[in-house]
Amino acid sequence: QQQFVESGGGLVQPGGSLTLSCEVRVSAFSLWEMGWYRQAPGKERELVGRIGNRGNTYSSGSVEGRFTISRDNAKNMLYLQMNNLKPEDTAVYYCNFGSAPSSSWGPGTQVIVSS
């Protein structure tokens, strides 16, 4: 059974917005620090941001001020609100644990930012 199932990606114009969702199929979800990651074509996967079990967040410099991570512990869900999207945000987006990602990655969700 997959631990992480991402959804919500799509094609959006520069300056647009998208909200990604991730169903997290692990026990004690509320105790885990979670993260969003992305992998652009030809590049290594990188951390987009993390959210701690108390809701404290960290965002990478490239998305700070544009992306917001949130979680719903009652539903085992993780979210990524993306605003003012840029072409360089084009990537496959994944969720996983924040500090020590599991080797079992989900399928990801594709985000394409293009006019």
115 — pLDDT class (breaks 50, 70, 90): very high
> Which class for 45: exposed (0-12), middle (13-18), buried (19 or more C-beta within 10 A)?
middle
Predicted local confidence at residue 99, as pLDDT: 82
At 44, the amino acid letter reads E
17 — pLDDT class (breaks 50, 70, 90): very high
Q: Are 82 and 14 in contact (CB under 8 A)?
A: no
Reduced to 3 DSSP states, what percent helix, strand and coil does the chain have, rounded to the nearest 5?
Answer: 5, 45, 50
19-65 pLDDT per residue, tens? 999 999 999 999 999 999 999 999 999 999 999 999 999 999 899 99
Cα 65 to Cα 96: distance, rounded to the nearest angstrom? 22
1 — pLDDT class (breaks 50, 70, 90): confident
Predicted local confidence at residue 100, as pLDDT: 84
